[in-house]
Every structure is written in structure tokens, then in C-alpha cells.
Chains A and B, each alone.
Chain A
Amino acid sequence: MVFPGTWSDRDCAHAVLDVLREPVRFVDHREQTVDGLDLVILPGGFSYGDYLRCGAIARFAPVMEAVTDFANRGGLVLGICNGFQILQEARLLPGALLRNASCEFRCEWVHLRVEQSNSAFTLDCRPGQVLRIPISHGEGNFFADAETLDALERNGQVVFRYCAADGRVSEASNPNGSLRNIAGISNTHGNVVGLMPHPERACEPLLGSEDGLVLFRSAIHALTRVAV
């Protein structure tokens, strides 16, 4: 999906097309349908200038109605960074992302502990696996009320947590103040996942890490499994 102000669409396409050799189509925000797609990616950026709130305007883009239908029918949807914010504004994922606790834009490598291997985007992971992937955001401070947080944990919807290189989760490994170190979550069915870190920027050794590829590979496996 390409909204005005989306900036990571080319990087996502590079990961899927050039690295994984799967076809990619750029979908303009004014399109009315996502027919023919197996996987929808909402990439990072500053859609509509992040005016009002991050993702608040993109949520009403014409194409989002089709994305919402697609997600509700079980289609695979991955929201990265601003894409995660859009999915929350669209109520496809719970919670909200506040300004980083430091009030700083953080652009750095982080470690993520995979908490769930049953989402469509972590099928190829083992729980507890640590991924090294960069973040790049000013508003990634995950918030949900206590009741929602408990429901997320209970339903296994917490997919990634910020951690240290050895997988330990602590305040020191939390780059933005996210409650319970949450970096990424899924919906109850596991077909919609949102995360603040950028897996598409960690898909080749040249970039310093290939750990992000596992999300895209997992999605391909999820789709293949459904098709068989």
C-alpha cells in the first residue's frame, strides 16, 4: 500500500521481489480493491504527514475499506511502523502508539524476542528466538489499557518484545517506553500483524542482518499451507 508520505514501500518491495523472488504490486491509496493479492503490506513512513495522529487520515483512504475486508476474510496483512499505526487507527489491531518516552526519534538496531510462532508472520520462528532488526520511529510507544494488555497476553497476541541480545526482556532493552516491552502484536486470528521495527531493512547480509526475512518467509509458508 502506498499512501502520500509512505517511504518504506520500495524497501519492502526489494525484500519480497529481489530477495525472495515473489511478485510485488504497488497499490495506490486511491484504489478500491486489493483483489488478486495474497499478502498486503502497509509500509512505514509518514502517511498524510502524520497530521492529527499517525495513521489517522490514512485509515480513511479509499483502499483501506478493501484492506479491512481482506483482513476480515483472513487475508494476510503486515503493518510495519506507520503501517502498524494505521492498522490500530483502523481498529484492525488493538491499542495505540504514543510518542516515545524519550521524546526522541530513535533510529537504531534492536533485538526482538519472538513470543508467538503461530501468527502468519512468525510460523518459521521458534518461540524465544531473538531477531536483530532496526527501528526508526518517533511514536512507537505501545499503549493499551490494562484489560486489553491482559487479553493480548492471554490470547497469545503479543508477537514480539524488545529484549537484550540474549533474549532477556528488561527496561534497559525498551527503546521507546512501550508497555510490557511490546514491539509487535497480532489480531486474534494471527493473520494481521503490526510491529514498529523494520524487518524489510534486515533482509540481506549487506544490511547487517537477514533476521527480518523470516517474517516474509513465514507469510509465504502460511499461504502455501492454506493453498495445499
Chain B
Amino acid sequence: MRYRAEIFVTLKPVVNDPAGLTIRGGLQALGFASVTEVRAGKYLVLTLDEADAGQARTRLDEMARQLLANAVIEDYRIELQPIGEPVAAGERPA
């Protein structure tokens, strides 16, 4: 099955986020006084072919731990959805 995975990488709550603070300052300067906190992060979209959702999650966890997030400072969250059968090699999509 082909899956679309969205990975949200965010700084751990204990880690200071200078970019988030600066964005909050910008919003407040624009008059959005209700904003009390901004946390900036990364958003990654992957397309991958795996046997099933469980296998896809296992592989994505490995990817996140080994490369996509730095466990010293970051947390990650994975959203997964099936998007159909993979296109076999040599076949052209209709």
C-alpha cells in the first residue's frame, strides 16, 4: 500500500524557541494582542510504499529517530493515511 505520512517536528516544551518568540513579537506588533505563545517547528510530507500501516509506522519511527528529529531537543508526531496501491515498475499511471 502507498501511504502519505505527515511528520510534525517540534521543539520539546523545555527547549527555548527564539524563532517562536520572535514570531509572537511580530504578531503582537501587528496588533494580534491575544497571542500568548508561538512555537515554530518543521513539517515534512513523505510518500512511501509499505505492506501495511503498522509497518509504515515502524519505519517512520526509525526515520524520525535516526534523522528527521533530534531527540535531544525535538519531539515528533506522525499522521499516516493510505493513498492507494503503489504503481508497479514499468507501469504508467493512467
The answer to whether B18 touches A96 (Cβ under 8 A) is: no
Q: Does the CB pair A60–B67 fall under 8 Å?
A: yes
A107 within 8 A of B: no
User: Does A98 contact B16, Cβ atoms closer than 8 Å?
Assistant: yes
Q: State how many angstroms separate the Cβ of A59 from the closest Cβ of chain B.
A: 9
A226 at the interface (CB under 8 A from B): no
**Given the complex, which residues of A lie within 8 Å of B42, measured CB to CB?**
52
Check if B68 is an interface residue, CB within 8 A of chain A. Answer: yes
Partner of B18, one of A52, A88, A101, A145: A101
Q: Judge whether A143 and B72 touch: CB under 8 Å.
A: yes
Name B73's contact: one of A52, A100, A101, A143 (CB within 8 Å).
Answer: A143
Q: Check if A17 is an interface residue, CB within 8 A of chain B.
A: no
8 A Cβ contacts from B9-57 to A: 11, 14-16, 18-19, 22, 42
Q: CB within 8 Å of B: which of A149-194?
A: 177
Contact A103 B19 (CB under 8 A): yes
Answer whether residue B81 sits at the interface, using C-beta atoms and an 8 A cutoff. no
| Number of chain B residues close to chain A: CB under 8 A | 13
CA A96 to CA B19, docked complex, whole Å: 16
Contact of B67 among A56, A100, A141, A145 (CB under 8 A): A56
Task: Tell me if A89 is interfacial: C-beta within 8 Å of chain B.
Answer: yes
Q: Is A102 an interface residue (CB 8 A)?
A: yes
Instruction: Chain B residues near A102: list those with CB within 8 A.
Output: 18
Whole-angstrom CA separation of A101 from B16 in the bound complex: 8
Interchain Cβ contacts under 8 Å between A and B, 14 examples: A52-B67, A60-B67, A94-B72, A96-B72, A96-B73, A98-B11, A98-B15, A99-B19, A102-B18, A103-B22, A141-B16, A143-B72, A145-B14, A145-B72
Further 20 A-B residue pairs, CB within 8 A, beyond A88-B72, A89-B70, A98-B16: A53-B70, A95-B72, A96-B72, A96-B73, A98-B15, A98-B18, A99-B18, A99-B19, A100-B18, A101-B18, A102-B18, A103-B18, A141-B18, A143-B15, A143-B16, A143-B73, A144-B72, A145-B72, A177-B16, A177-B18
Partner-B contacts on A (CB < 8 A): 52-53, 56, 60, 88-89, 94-96, 98-103, 141, 143-145, 177
